[in-house]
Chains A and B, each alone.
Chain A
Amino acid sequence: MNRGTGGLDARLVVHRESRAGRFALDLALAAAPGEVVALLGPNGAGKTTALRALAGLERLTAGHVRLGGTALHPLPVEARPVGMVFQDYLLFPHLSALENVAFGPRCRGVGRREARRRAAALLDRVGLAEYAAVRPRALSGGQAQRVALARALAAEPGLLLLDEPLAALDAHTRLEIRSGLRRHLADFDGVTVLVTHDPLDAMTLADRLVVLEEGVLVQEGSPAEVARRPRTGYVARLVGLNLYRGTARGHTVTVERAELDAAEALDGEVFVVFAPAAVALYRSRPHGSPRNVWNTTIAGIERQGDRVRVRLGGPLPAAADVTPAAVAELGLAEGVAVWAAVKATETHAYPA
């Protein structure tokens, strides 16, 4: 198989009707060789459908898939230079780890001995040389994930697809496998598209994020850009920011009935964000430096690690992170009236 070192250029249109309802995906996707793109989105957004459409497992209603100038969409699945890691890996249970990895090269016409040699080298690269003869049943989750990655890479694809590559792992293994995966993806010179609903996986593994909601792209950019300037409520929750949409006149942004002072001076439709940690809570109206101050009631309180997340009600629903000590001192509880304050310098506005 020729190693497709060209970039990906795809437009994926999939319409489907089922008992669950109507589903439509319409996504334009481009990626340079060596680039890692993460498709991020809530359940049912069409991430996996997009990935399956790239592999040819899902029929395109319209659109195209091109890799390095070669049209892939007219080709059947088995003729595409694509490697895929499935969410639950789907290692062939009747074959050893080595035979699983050698399967791709064998199918693509590589001789038995050469295929096994290549498979052994790949298993060695993912640190599983001594597990060559082991059946998938006897592998741990993390090991199975690495065998699945080696199997997908063995046929030297130009396009590597990963469906929730870390979702099936426990928290500890996940950490370890994530850093390994990051290394392997950096070594891979083709295009990688990975699907995840975990922002941390997306931020650490990908060069670029593509956020899908209900089958369409809602935001795209580098992880830092997406984290700093979310454009939908879903992305804001994902990156842990309070997000509002309003109208700016200079430093003042009107959000429904409330007004916020932002660090940036803009005019027109804007988004405003601030971090939950930037919100300070008081029982009586605070005095001092110019800041955003409003009074509200507490809608809920939940513990998050060593912080306490306080959900504030109207007029500006927001999340505030405070210390457990502050909760005790201020006597914070559901239904209690408080004053919330955010410094203008902690409030960022950007055009909508």
Chain B
Amino acid sequence: MTGRRAGVPWALLVPALAGLAFLVLPLAGLLVRAPWSTLGARLAEPQVLAALRLSLVTATLATALCLVLGVPLAWLLARTRFPGQGLVRALVIVPLVLPPVVGGVALLMLLGRRGLLGRWLEAAFGVTLPFSTAGVVVAEAFVALPFLVISVEGALRAADSRYEEAAATLGASRWTAFRRVTLPLIAPGVLAGATLSWARALGEFGATITFAGNFPGRTQTMPLAVYLALETDPEAAIVLSLVLLVVSVAVLALLRDHWGLGARAG
């Protein structure tokens, strides 16, 4: 960037600035309309605290679930070859482009009381996932998992697989090589993926409300609380939105500082 503003054509500059304004102004509006004087009292309200607590707990559990399932899945995609691999990769990405509501409906069809697996889960273990806190975790993990898989697979592809060969010549099995060499090497990618997944899980709305419903204290996460409050108490909605905004910006800052995302990184 050399500051040669004269060189920027108007046809590009005007839409670019309009685009920036389009992204920033709504957030500014949120800040301007926030009830700053009563903010402290509002934040201390039990419903707000319950929703915040539930959001943080479920997003963290969903991220843990994503790590347990997603890192091995990414390894399989990056380090092995099997027939239909392209199809598997496409299927992994589907939840990324699927409307979350559809994801929620799909989860109901599988894990609902009358769902294919849900019926069996209830009969065998007495477990019902829909409309429970566990259901929230499942819905959030469903939409967040692709973010983790994509990040980790990218990190695995960027990591030199010859380190694994070196480990093998030193007597390490594939599992040992993964645990002691590969995982530490791709740790930044795993952390970045986990953070993205966590942020996605925190903001999850469509799949959650469809699959887990909207019960305060049990399944009502922050985004659901915001939506409900907008009907009855717009100021509360603004306060809740501010909290989510602060959390999101904090996550972004963390990503930038620690893993070189944003700024100049490609």
Contact = CB atoms under 8 A, between A and B. Distances in A.
Nearest to A110: B171
Interface in B159-174: 160, 162-163, 165-173
A336 interface: no
B168 A103 contact: no
- With a 10 A CB-CB cut-off, give which of B167, B168, B172, B184 has the most chain A CB atoms: B168
A86 to B, nearest CB: 6
A90 interface: yes
Interface string A132-158: 000000000000000000011011000
A78 B166 contact: no
Given A78-B173, A107-B176, A90 B163 contact: yes
Nearest to A94: B184
A55 B185 contact: no
A82 B167 CA distance: 12
B180 A57 contact: no
Contact of B185 (A76, A83, A93, A108): A93
A107 B171 contact: yes
A90 B166 CA distance: 7
B185 A78 contact: no
A79 B170 CA distance: 9
B78 interface: no
B169 A92 contact: no
A108 B184 contact: no
Interface string B139-183: 000000000000000000000101101111111110010001100
A93 B182 CA distance: 11
Contacts of B184: 92, 94
Interface string A238-268: 0000000000000000000000000000000
Contacts of A76: 168
Nearest to B180: A103
Interface residues on A, range: 20 to 34
B165 A57 contact: yes
A230 interface: no
B170 A151 contact: yes
B49 to A, nearest CB: 40
Contacts of B170: 78, 83, 103-104, 107, 151-152, 154-155
Interface string A257-291: 00000000000000000000000000000000000
Contacts of B160: 90
B165 A77 contact: yes
B176 A92 contact: no
B181 A155 contact: no
A56 B184 CA distance: 25
Contact of A83 (B167, B169, B176): B169
Nearest to B165: A57
A92 B165 contact: no
Given A93-B185, A94-B185, A103-B180, A78 B172 contact: yes
Contacts of A92: 163, 166-167, 181, 184-185
Q: Chain B CB within 10 Å — which of A56, A78, A93, A161 has the most?
A: A78
A108 B181 contact: no
Interface string A68-96: 00000000111110111010001011100
A103 B185 contact: no
A86 B166 contact: yes
Contacts of A108: 171
A92 B163 CA distance: 7
Contacts of B173: 78, 107
The 10 closest A-B pairs by CB, nearest first: A107-B171, A104-B170, A77-B168, A90-B166, A84-B169, A94-B184, A108-B171, A107-B172, A78-B168, A78-B171
Interface of A: 1, 55-57, 76-80, 82-84, 86, 90, 92-94, 103-104, 107-108, 151-152, 154-155, 161
7 contacts: A56-B168, A57-B165, A77-B169, A79-B171, A90-B160, A103-B167, A161-B169
